[in-house]
Amino acid sequence: MAAKEDLYAKVTPRRQRQNRPNTIKHGSTLDVLLSMGFPRTRALKALVSTGGKNVQAACDWLFSHLDDPFLDEPLPREYVLYLRPSGPLLQQLTHFWKQSRLTCGKNKAHNIFPHITLCQFFMCADEKVEALTDALQTTVAKWKGRIPMPLPLELYISSSFIGLFVEEQMAEVLKSFAADFATEATSKADVHVEPHKKQLHVTMAYHFNASHLPVLEKLAKSIEVTAGCDWLAVLLSRDIRFANHEPLQVMYPYVPQNDDELELLQGDFIFMSPVEQSTASEGWLYGTSLGTGLSGLLPENYVSRADESDTWVVHGSHSFLNCASPSTSGSPMGGLLFDGQLNDSLLDSLMDPSSLTGFLPPMQVSRATAHSSSSKMRLFVCRHGERMDVVFGKHWVTQCFDSKGGYIRSNLNMPCSLPSRSGGYRDYEKDCPITVFGSTQARLVGEALLESHTTIDFVYCSPSLRCIQTAQHIFQGLQLEAKTKIRVEPGLFEWTKWVSGTSLPAWIPPADLVAANLSVDTTYKPHYPLSKLTVSESYDTYISRSFQVTREILTECKSLGSTVLIVAHASSLEACTRQIQGLSPQNSKDFVQVVRKIPYLGFCACEELGETGVWQLVDPPILPLTHGPNHSFNWREMLMQD
């Protein structure tokens, strides 16, 4: 077994050494890092975390992880051995990935590129990784020419799974190869590898909506399973710290405004654990950066969901036809994985913006034609403005009311006054108002609608005060205060599962809202009576309720006007628009992912296609509204320090 000092003697990728005679000599990569003064454990960790790419990549990793609290922890990484296709078969599978994602949204199979699993995940210490990669190369060399290509595959389709299964006799051959690798890995790297014992297959789709089966089945049957292919043995690793974490990719850079926030660099990946989200308020996430190892709060609309394998590192990719290097002929994606990172061709194919339909906010899914007819019936759905309890914390009520129930303003972003409530000020705990800035946000949207010459014929609101106040300030911007009344519709309230406690909020009755100078229609009879709302309703009940109410609102207004505005919650932008387009509801997990990315005053637009009753999402008539956090400033604490 190689000594620790020799484990990275050949860390530079072999393909580079063969094709470039002047590349770094054996042993020099680790030696250079040690000569620069880096501790051996850190140097090894940097090399492993970058796939042994080169000195520069390792140095960049080390400098970016200087504050990583786990930098000196001897944590092993998890490794796995896959077979991945190349050539014409990969092209067809990639096309299936893109089309299935475009038409049916993301399913579990999209988390990892097309592959056959040869072994279970196993752990390997950093100082053993070079020996592990040698074990793989030795095993592939032994099996060169013994595995016929292409592999015999058979398409299997069920109600919840679609895949390509390896013919049984050939599957036993591949399992023998995996067993040989396990033996070699134990001998050279002293690690335990468990070969995959289940049927070998390529998973194409699973955990998908049952209504998508006909489309997925049609796409799957178009794949020619006998297409030319060289299967490459690929050794990959992932950071063990982030098992069961959801990977997110940073879309926009973000500079922290407070000490507990995380700096975001575009393109970096963030690992998020649902367990850690209790420390984050609405609109924020708590996560750990792959690029720095640091953790903190981050705005959720700055990130998008990523695939699991996007964050993995490759430590070797070997062809059974040519053991010297991975096959790159016959396909623009032949070099799918190499030098510790995913090949750009695969990313271009699998992560094309058009393939992200399944988890983009609804208003980004479709684009309207350049000249939409103004006579078409339109539906706008808008989220409420910034809410008091998110900005000032859930205990804001006890801080802003005295013992007699008198309201006390302690910040410029708090409203000057609040409507009185028959049940007392404690009712504000479940039915909070919007902030002054929330009012400004709403008025800006109204002014933008006015400038775009958009008319609003009817306005429907959730019974939440924050939604009604938002609609009122949109009216102000639109100069509609004296012309249009708000119709309070209980059926537009958010998913009641998200309400804390055992009872629904005690909403302010329409007559009391009018007394507080809010333009509410006291004669309106709701489509979904308040008495029908229940605490902790199921997801299916919420989605059905939202669809039913939206459809009845559109039917009610069809002969009376052309434009309807719904002011409700973040979830409403998805729940009120998806099914009127003829689409099936998303599963609850994907639904939550969409909702979390919708900001205050998030705004989407739908347009009816002629008189068909079918709707499509189109470009809103106004620009989006973006704003950043602004922490509280106390001059005594900041400027009067000793």
**Which DSSP string corresponds to 573-624?**
HHHTTTGGGTPPPPPHHHHHHHHHT--TT-EEEEEE-TTSS-EEEE--SS--
Answer yes or no: is pLDDT of 602 > 50.
Answer: yes
Distance CA 167, CA 152 (A): 6
Tokens found for residue 109? 């199979």
Chain centroid to CA 49: how far? 23
Band (611; pLDDT cuts 50, 70, 90): low
CA distance 303 to 13: 33
616 φ/ψ angles, rounded to the nearest 5 degrees: -135, 150
Phi-psi region of 133 (alpha: psi -120 to 50; beta: other; left: phi over 0): alpha
Tens digits of residue pLDDT in 46-88: 999 999 878 888 998 999 999 999 999 889 999 999 999 988 8
Q: What is the C-alpha radius of gyration for the chain, rounded to an integer number of angstroms?
A: 29
- pLDDT at residue 642 in the model: 55
Q: How many CB atoms lie within 10 A of CB 613?
A: 13
Count Cβ atoms below 10 Å from residue 276 Cβ, excluding itself.
15
In this prediction, residue 346 has a pLDDT band, given cuts at 50, 70 and 90, of: very low
CA distance 296 to 287: 6
Lowest mean pLDDT across 220-234, 370-384, 439-453, 523-537:
370-384
Per-residue pLDDT of 397-444, as tens digits, reads: 988 999 888 999 999 999 999 999 999 999 999 999 999 999 999 999
Q: Does pLDDT of 16 surpass 60?
A: no
* Region 137-155 average pLDDT: 89
Checking if the pLDDT of 109 tops 80, the result is yes
| Residue pLDDT, tens place only, 247-256 | 999 989 999 9
Over residues 117-134, the mean pLDDT reads 94
What predicted TM-score, i.e. pTM, was given to this entire model? Answer: 0.52
Judge whether 526 and 491 are in contact, CB under 8 Å: yes
Of the candidates 637, 624, 638, 633, the one whose C-alpha atom is nearest the C-alpha of residue 257 is 633
Are the beta carbons of 204 and 160 closer than 8 angstroms?
A: no
Residue 27: pLDDT band (50, 70, 90) is low
Distance, CA of 575 to CA of 581 (rounded, Å): 11
Q: What is the pLDDT of residue 452?
A: 92
Confidence tier at 561 by pLDDT (50, 70, 90): low
CA distance 386 to 500: 19
Q: What is the mean pLDDT of residues 532-542?
A: 94
Domains of the chain: 30-65 (no CATH), 77-251+302-319 (3.90.1140.10), 378-386+432-618 (3.40.50.1240)
Res 482 pLDDT > 90: no
Average pLDDT score, the chain: 84
Confidence check: pLDDT of 190 > 50: yes
Inter-residue contact 324 to 69 (CB < 8 Å): no
Helices of type H across 294-384: 344-350
Residue 327 has pLDDT above 70, yes or no: no
Average pLDDT over residues 162-171: 94
Average pLDDT (98-104) is: 88
The better pLDDT of the pair 636, 129 is held by: 129
Q: Which residue has the higher pLDDT, 306 or 343?
A: 306
Considering only CA atoms, which of 98, 129, 210, 51 is closest in space to residue 584?
Answer: 210
Q: Are 490 and 463 in contact (CB under 8 A)?
A: yes
In degrees to the nearest 10, what's the CA dihedral of 342, 347, 348, 351? -170
Per-residue model confidence (pLDDT) at position 148:
81
Of 37-41, 430-434, 503-507, 608-612, least confident by mean pLDDT is 608-612
Q: Among this protein's residues, is 384 annotated catalytic?
A: yes
Non-local (6+) Cβ contacts of 148 within 8 A are 170
Residue 330: CA atoms inside 13 Å, Cβ hemisphere, count?
Answer: 15
Q: What is the pLDDT of residue 277?
A: 82
Cβ atoms of 225 and 304 within 8 Å: the answer is no
Q: Tell me what pLDDT residue 386 has.
A: 95
Give the pLDDT confidence score for residue 421 in this predicted structure: 93
Confidence of residue 484 (pLDDT cuts 50, 70, 90): confident
Q: Percent of the chain having pLDDT more than 90? A: 58
CA distances from residue 484 to 19, 455, 518, 521, 565 in whole angstroms, order as listed? 74, 11, 11, 9, 11
384, 387, 473, 596: the catalytic one is 384
Q: Which of 30-44, 365-379, 432-446 is least confident?
A: 365-379
User: What is the pLDDT at residue 360?
Assistant: 30
CA separation, residue 320 to residues 10, 20, 194, 324, 342 (Å) = 21, 23, 21, 9, 20
Please compute the mean of the pLDDT values over residues 269-292 and round it to a whole number.
88
Residue 199 vs residues 64, 162, 174, 560: alpha-carbon distances, Å: 42, 14, 11, 61
Order of strands across the sheet that contains 486-488: 486-488, 458-461, 563-568, 378-383, 603-608, 615-618
pLDDT at 191: 94
For residue 434, give both structure tokens.
Answer: 């919007």
The reply to whether 569 belongs to the active site is: yes
pLDDT for residue 287:
94
Q: pLDDT band for position 533 (50/70/90)?
A: very high
Q: What is the mean pLDDT of residues 612-638?
A: 81
Q: Which of 77, 569, 578, 596 is catalytic?
A: 569
C-alpha 102/C-alpha 424 separation (Å) is 50
Query: What is the per-residue pLDDT for 275?
Result: 80
Across the range 510-514, mean pLDDT stands at 95
pLDDT of 257 over the 70 cut: yes
Q: Tell me, what's the pLDDT at 612?
A: 63
Q: Residue 32's pLDDT is what?
A: 86
Catalytic residue check, 110? no
Give the model confidence (pLDDT) of 307-316 as tens digits.
889 999 999 8
Mean pLDDT confidence for 288-313: 92
Distance of CA 386 to the CA centre of its chain: 23
In this predicted structure, what is the pLDDT of residue 367? Answer: 32
* Residue found under tokens 């799974």: 161
User: What is the number of other CB atoms lying within 10 angstroms of the CB of residue 491?
Assistant: 22
Name the one residue in this structure whose structure tokens are 């890092």.
33
pLDDT confidence of residue 278 = 77
Confidence of residue 31 (pLDDT cuts 50, 70, 90): confident
Nearest residue to 565 (alpha-carbon basis) of 482, 497, 621: 621
Q: Within a 13 Å sphere around the CA of 629, how many CA atoms are in the beta-carbon half?
A: 24
Q: Which of 65, 77, 383, 487 is catalytic?
A: 383
Q: What does the alpha-carbon distance between residue 635 and residue 289 come to, in Å, rounded to a whole number?
A: 33
DSSP string, 506-543: -PPPHHHHHHTT--B-TT---SS-GGG--TT--HHHHH
Residue 226 has what pLDDT? 87
Mean pLDDT of 300-327: 79
Nearest-angstrom CA–CA distance, 46 and 52:
8
| Whether pLDDT at 636 is above 80 | no
Percent of the chain exceeding pLDDT 70 equals 85
| 184 has pLDDT over 80 | yes
pLDDT, tens digit (0-9, with 9 covering 90-100), for 578-593 = 999 888 899 998 898 8
